[in-house]
Amino acid sequence: MANEIKVAPMHKLIKRAGASRVSEESAIALGKALEEIGIKVAKEALDFARHAGRKTVKARDIEIASKKVLGR
Amino acid sequence: MANEIKVAPMHKLIKRAGASRVSEESAIALGKALEEIGIKVAKEALDFARHAGRKTVKARDIEIASKKVLGR
């Protein structure tokens, strides 16, 4: 599986959360976790788009899918 | 809040989930959702690192934090 989410932005995210030091492996792990969630959300969003008779995934599909997947 | 997660990789993720067409707004929305989750996971991971007496966030912190936040 290709990694779309790169390590550098994950490093920055962990820093922004307040960490003073971030291991390379932790940035890789966060990217992997977010990528899995992202694919899950995108698949749900695609279902919503198809259900609405659209071929294009729209922001509202992602929003409803992320609420469902992430329980928000 | 700065956006660490860029739009292009989100576009690719949604495509990889099977979408034939992806609106720009949906890629932005997915990036925003993943960034929020990423920060949440990173904050939990930082708590675990501190609890273990470390200043460095390690992969195991991210793994335990993502299980907690994402309920996996």
For residue B33, list chain A residues with Cβ-Cβ distance below 8 A: 41, 62-63, 66, 70
ipTM: 0.94
Cα gap A42→B20, rounded to integer Å: 12
Cα→Cα distances B23→A60, B2, B19, B57, Å? 10, 22, 10, 35
pLDDT in tens, B7-60: 999 999 999 999 999 999 999 999 999 999 999 999 999 999 999 999 999 999
Interface test with B, best of A1, A4, A46 (most B CBs within 10 A): A4
At residue B22, the 3 state secondary structure works out as: strand
Closest C-alpha among A43, A61, A66 to residue B23: A61
pTM of the model as a whole: 0.94
